[in-house]
Amino acid sequence: MTESSGAAVTWRFRFAGDKVSRVWNWQSDGPPDLARVVPIRKPRSSERQRHIPVTAYSLTMRDHLELESGLEHDLLRRLDRLHDVVALVPQPCQLKRGGSSSAKNTPDLLSLDDTGSVTLWNARLPHKMDDKFKLQVAMVEAACANVGWRHEVFNGLDRVERLNLLWLHGYRRRPSWYDQVAGEIGKEASNDAATLGSLFRLDTGNGEAIAVVWHMVWSGELDTNLSKRLTMETPVRAGLVA
């Protein structure tokens, strides 16, 4: 349990091997072992709950994740390609606060980065952020701050970025011929005038270099602005990921 806005917040987690969730006491138990945390509930669709569950493969986790909506899938696509994200857990916990300002929330996703920083995510479109949700967000933000975690609200991608990520999604896996052409692509990308077109022209006609270019954009080895439409004239530069 933690304190939030003067009221106690109860955290619940479920761990691998457990059939039910358990209350977690941060003061006595410290932070939970995230390697053992599993989803606290299974996504379902019903008349009252009109989410369309999604099963999506995560390269970060090397496993399929069960998500509650397409919006969460968009969030996964964004996070799954970040080189510093090392773990992702859907529906990782439940937070509940009683009293006059009662609230209950199950975050949609937990992300862990390579520095040990933890973020809880709630995915919600702007027009669905009602007063009840805002109360939940305030509770989760305060509770996370008390334990050294962060909370973020994901409200979707703009149309162009979403389409770009959907396209790049097909190039997530590193091609078997990657090592044969990646060096030449990286060298060309170090040129200040490099564009997608100049990188594609390295292809010998078999499509292998083009496939590696797209994979390198997805992985961050090549950096470009995904909020804009990708064309042959799109500027590209070597990214931060080696």
What value does the mean pLDDT take over residues 139-158?
96
179-226 pLDDT, tens digit each: 999 999 999 999 999 999 999 999 999 999 999 999 999 999 999 999
- Do 191 and 231 lie in one domain? The reply is yes
Q: Is the pLDDT of residue 24 over 90?
A: yes
Q: Which helix (H) or strand (E) holds 120?
A: strand 118-123
Same domain? 212 vs 166: yes
- The pLDDT value recorded for residue 46 is 57
Q: How far apart are CA 38 and CA 88, in angstroms?
A: 10
Does 221 lie in the same domain as 101? no
Question: Is residue 44 scored above 90 in pLDDT?
Answer: no
Predicted local distance difference test score (pLDDT) of residue 102 = 82
pLDDT for 73 equals: 95
Residues 112 and 224 in one domain: no
Note whether 205 and 102 are same-domain residues.
Answer: no
What are the φ and ψ backbone dihedral angles of 73, each rounded to 5 degrees? Answer: -65, -40
Mean of pLDDT values over 158-183: 96
122 by DSSP, 3-state: which? strand
What does the pLDDT read at residue 53? 85
* Of 155, 25, 42, 22, the residue nearest 90 (C-alpha): 42
Number of domains composing the chain? 2
Band of pLDDT at residue 240, cut at 50, 70 and 90: low
Question: What CATH number did the domain enclosing 194 receive?
Answer: 1.10.10
Of 34, 28, 9, 37, the closest CA to residue 142 belongs to 9
Indicate if 13 and 122 belong to the same structural domain: yes
pLDDT in tens, 83-134: 999 999 999 999 999 876 789 999 999 999 999 999 999 999 999 999 999 9
Mean pLDDT of the chain: 92
Using the 3D structure, point to which of 125, 154, 183 is the last residue of a domain. 154
Distance in angstroms (rounded) separating the CA atoms of residues 220 and 40: 32
Residue 87: both structure tokens together = 């773990």
> Are residue 40 and residue 90 in the same domain, yes or no?
yes
- Supply the pLDDT for residue 4: 47
Whether residue 25 is found in the same domain as residue 139: yes
Amino acid identity of residue 131, one-letter, is: D
Tell me, yes or no, whether 164 and 148 share the same domain: no
Give the residue among 154, 158, 171 at the shortest CA–CA distance from 222.
Answer: 171
Residue type, 11: W
Tell me: do 174 and 217 sit in the same domain.
yes
What's the domain range around 203?
159-238
**What is the structure's pLDDT at 5?**
45
Query: What does DSSP say about strands 63-67 and 37-38: parallel, antiparallel, or unpaired?
Result: unpaired
